[in-house]
Amino acid sequence: MSLLKPFSKLPGLNSANILLVESKEEFQQSLADALVQETAFTVNVRLAKSLPLPIENEESRPRIDLVVFIIDLTSELSFQSTEASLKCLDPGYFLGKVCFMVINARNAAAPIERLDAVRKLAASLHCPLLFTEGQTPDGVANATERLLTILKVAAGFVPMATALYLSNLTRSTVSPDIDQPSFD
Amino acid sequence: MDPCDDVGSRHHAVEAGALSSGPPDGSTGQKDVQPADMLRIKQQMSNQCFEMAVQLQSGKSKRSCSTSEAGRELSEYVNELDRVKTIHFNSTLTLHRMQMWHAIGEKLKQNDSEALALKAENDRCMNLCSQIKQLQQESRVFQDEITEIQKKRLEMKRLTHEKMKEMDELTSKAGHPDTEKYKAVLERGQANLEKYKKMTVMTQNVLRGILLACKVNWMDDPKLRDIAMTLEECSISD
């Protein structure tokens, strides 16, 4: 099984590579368009439906600095696909180079158990969990800004900060009473 | 460990690569790269090398400990890291400040046109600073006055409140004993009234009975008729 390794290739000069993994492939397109607008450095966005990535591109693919899993809370398939993809990622990525992004969290069709499950997943892997709203341009711009902040650190553009350091500051935690029924 | 060897070799390659890097890939039309850009790229590469070095080092020294212990140690290390970073930042700031003052001093010693401009700027800064100090003094005085006035107002409020309380007490006390006696008297009066009412009703009933029993024709006699009419008006209580 081919794992995606963080340090198996050379880093790119003045560029950052981000991989967006989404099983539905809706939000990642608009997010990618917004991400490449960044001018301070070159942002290369790679899109994928799930991991493992096809072997054909193995040689030409650059080193991935940040892997973002986009989970749509209204579909169970999205969550399961993410869980399966996580197994194809080298453990070295989880030290600050993985981020979870949740969309449609405000939708009434999203069950609360899935949100709790996503929270627990992010907390157990010590990764940041971001919530965004993907339908309006404002929401996309907001998500882009936050992702760029994390990407800059992961690609080494922020002096005195590494991805591991940032992950200690931004990792999501679950409160101990997450298993209690919530009062709605 | 396989990934570690990978990382190690890449580490050296990156060092070599960073030293001999040309213009960045993104700028195709730009021939001369700004030194700031070069510094930035160098900073980025050194950051990456640091990360890989950390990865290598973590691979070398491995010891087993429980998760909770690791969590505690982690928070300690992060605090330590924050502390050291703050110290480093402050020291760098101080160093830069010293360097700048040294440079300004050297420039002023040279005594050319730029130095004159510097001196003029310096005088302007001094004037502004003394103005600032004066204004701060004035504002402090005003602030003190405001505090004094607020204190007085609070005092006034307190006194007013006290006076109002006293007034309330007096009015309630003055009315209170009268109302008590008044209540008792009222109750007694009402009891008496009830008693006399009952007596009246009973006498009226008796009179009516007598009239009926005597079989007197009260309709023709006006005096008897008046009495009989008033008998009907009596209230039938209990």
Cis peptide before A137 (omega within 30 of 0): no
What CATH number has the domain bearing residue A116? 3.40.50.300
**A59-71 per-position pLDDT tens digit:** 778 888 899 999 9
CA closest to B14 among chain A residues: A10
pLDDT of chain B, 238 residues: tens digit per residue: 444 445 555 554 544 444 333 344 444 445 467 888 888 888 888 888 888 888 888 777 667 777 788 878 888 888 898 899 899 999 999 999 999 999 988 888 887 888 888 889 989 999 999 999 999 999 999 999 999 999 999 999 999 999 999 999 998 887 766 677 788 889 999 999 999 999 998 998 888 888 888 887 777 788 877 777 777 665 555 4
Give me the number of domains chain A comprises: 1
The minimal CB distance from B24 to the residues A7, A13, A162 is found for A13
Please check the confidence at residue A182 and state whether its pLDDT lies above 60: no
Beta carbons of A157 and B78 less than 8 Å apart: no
Q: Is residue A60 part of a domain?
A: yes
Number of Cβ atoms within 10 Å of the Cβ of B204:
18
User: From chain B, which residues contact A within 8 Å (Cβ)?
Assistant: 3, 6-7, 10, 13-14, 17-18, 21, 24-26, 37, 40-41, 43-48, 50-52, 54-55, 74, 78, 81, 85
pLDDT for the residue B225? 78
The minimal CB distance from A11 to the residues B14, B24, B85 is found for B14
Min Cα distance A143 → chain B (Å) is 24
The minimal CB distance from B14 to the residues A5, A10, A41 is found for A10
* Claim: this prediction has a pTM higher than 0.80: no
The minimal CB distance from B47 to the residues A41, A90, A159 is found for A159
The minimal CB distance from A10 to the residues B17, B50, B78 is found for B17
Please check the confidence at residue A121 and state whether its pLDDT lies above 80: yes
User: From chain A, which residues contact B within 8 Å (Cβ)?
Assistant: 5, 7-15, 41-42, 90, 92, 155-160, 162-165, 168-169
Q: Is residue A10 part of a domain?
A: no
Asked whether B70 and B77 are in contact (CB, 8 A), the reply is no
A133 burial (CB, 10 Å; 0-12 / 13-18 / 19+) is: middle
pLDDT for the residue A179? 63
Beta carbons of A156 and B51 less than 8 Å apart: yes
Which residues touch A44 (CB under 8 Å, ≥6 apart)? A12, A15, A16, A17, A18, A62
Q: Is residue A75 part of a domain?
A: yes
**A66-98 per-position pLDDT tens digit:** 999 999 888 889 899 999 988 888 888 888 889
Show the CA angle centred on residue B216, arms to residues B214 and B222, nearest 5°.
140
Span A148-174, average pLDDT: 82
User: CA–CA separation, A131 vs A103, rounded Å?
Assistant: 6
Q: Among B23, B15, B7, which residue's Cα sits nearest to residue B45?
A: B15
Which residues touch A116 (CB under 8 Å, ≥6 apart)? A174, A178
- For the stretch B87-120, what's the b/e string if a residue is b when 16 or more beta carbons lie within 10 angstroms of its beta carbon? eeeeeeeeeeeeeeeeeeeeeeeeeeeeeeeeee
Span A126-135, average pLDDT: 87
Q: Is residue A182 part of a domain?
A: no
Q: Write the Ramachandran bin of A48: left for phi over 0, alpha for psi from -120 to 50, otherwise beta.
A: beta
The minimal CB distance from B25 to the residues A42, A157, A164 is found for A42
- Of the residues A3, A8, A14, A44, the best mutation for testing chain B's interface (the one with the most B CB atoms within 10 Å of its CB) is A14
- Partnered with residue A130 across adjacent β-strands are A101
Q: How many CB pairs under 8 A join A and B?
A: 74
* Residue that has been written with the tokens 């700048």 in this structure: B100
Beta carbons of A42 and B24 less than 8 Å apart: yes
Q: What 3-state class would DSSP assign to A69?
A: strand
Min Cα distance A24 → chain B (Å) is 31
Q: Is residue A7 part of a domain?
A: no
Which one has a higher pLDDT value, A184 or A40?
A40
ipTM value, please give it: 0.75
Number of Cβ atoms within 10 Å of the Cβ of B222:
9
Q: Is residue A141 part of a domain?
A: yes
Q: How much of chain A, in percent, has pLDDT values that exceed 70?
A: 93
- The continuous run of DSSP H or E covering A70 comes out as strand A66-72
Residue B122 in tokens:
């310096």
Asked whether B208 and B231 are in contact (CB, 8 A), the reply is yes
pLDDT for the residue B47? 87
Beta carbons of B3 and A9 less than 8 Å apart: no
User: CA–CA separation, A45 vs A7, rounded Å?
Assistant: 18
Q: Is residue A154 part of a domain?
A: yes
Q: Is residue A158 part of a domain?
A: yes
Beta carbons of A164 and B78 less than 8 Å apart: no
User: N- to C-terminal Cα distance for chain B?
Assistant: 110
Q: What 3-state class would DSSP assign to A167?
A: helix
Domain enclosing residue A102, as ranges: 15-170
- Of the residues B9, B30, B51, B91, the best mutation for testing chain A's interface (the one with the most A CB atoms within 10 Å of its CB) is B51
